Amino acid sequence: MRTILVIDDHVSTCSTLCLILKGFGYIAVGATNAADAEREFRQHAVDLVLVDHGLAGITGAELTTQLKAIRNVRVLMMSGNPELKEKPASVDLLLPKPQLVPELMAAIASLVAAKVQ
């Protein structure tokens, strides 16, 4: 089974995404802040990071740059910010929020199947 680290500072969003991923057969690990995200990333063999752009105190791009310095991993970022039109360098795919479950799961499946460069 593939492991996905879900990072969102809104607890309900993080929990909901984890439940959806588990329903699709993934192992989902949630984190609601940067420190927890780094700890979980180090503890688990994460295949994909699903991160919100707007985290408390740090952007998702800054956090994923830090995580990729530890180990290269695929990153899917979601953002409700209409100003963010280009994906940051540390991100493989940027999706707008809200996202329908079928489209989100298709994006996750394609990233998980792709080899990390």
User: Which pLDDT does position 1 carry in this prediction?
Assistant: 87
Q: Which residue, among 62, 52, 4, has the nearest Cα to 29 in the 3D structure?
A: 4
Supply the mean pLDDT for the chain. 93
The answer, yes or no, to whether residue 97 has pLDDT greater than 90, is: no
User: Which pLDDT does position 49 carry in this prediction?
Assistant: 98
Residue 117's pLDDT band (cuts 50, 70, 90): low
Angle in degrees, 0-180, between the axes of helices 11-23 and 101-113, rounded to the nearest 10? 70
Domain 3-113 CATH class label: alpha beta
Sign, Cα dihedral of 116, 26, 101, 41: negative
The answer, yes or no, to whether residue 104 has pLDDT greater than 90, is: yes
Residue 116's pLDDT band (cuts 50, 70, 90): low
Mean pLDDT of 5-23: 96
Q: What percent of the chain has pLDDT over 90?
A: 81
Where are the extended beta strands (E) located within 12-90?
27-31, 48-52, 54-55, 58-59, 74-79
User: Which pLDDT does position 92 carry in this prediction?
Assistant: 94
Q: Which token pair is 63?
A: 């956090």
Other Cβ atoms within 10 Å of 33 Cβ, number: 16
